Amino acid sequence: MEVSVIIDYSPLWETMKEKNVSQYKLLQRGIDNKTLDTLKKKNNITLLTMEKLCNILDCTPNDIVRFKKEDF
């Protein structure tokens, strides 16, 4: 049996909503459109980007991403 890990950024969108932070504010604080697109497509981001998001949102990585395992 093969296990695949899926990146889920739904905690990011939930945290942004809770903290009243828009995508526009992320853009203003140095997160570019390409990165937002990457997040929406559930692709990998760098740890530097994770750190920036955590600093902007005053949160931890657990508030931004979760990993789901799926069996094949």
Using the predicted structure, report yes or no on whether residue 3 has a pLDDT greater than 90.
Answer: no
- Residue where the block lists tokens 């909503």: 17
Write the pLDDT tens digit of every residue in 14-67: 999 999 999 999 999 999 999 999 999 989 999 999 999 999 999 999 999 998
| pLDDT score recorded for residue 4 | 79
Using the predicted structure, report yes or no on whether residue 72 has a pLDDT greater than 90.
Answer: no
DSSP state of 1: -
Domain ranges of the chain: 3-71
**15: exposed, middle or buried (C-beta count within 10 Å: 0-12, 13-18, 19+)?**
buried
CATH assignment of 3-71, among 1.10.645.10, 1.10.260.40, 1.20.1110.10, 3.40.50.300: 1.10.260.40
pTM for this entry: 0.86
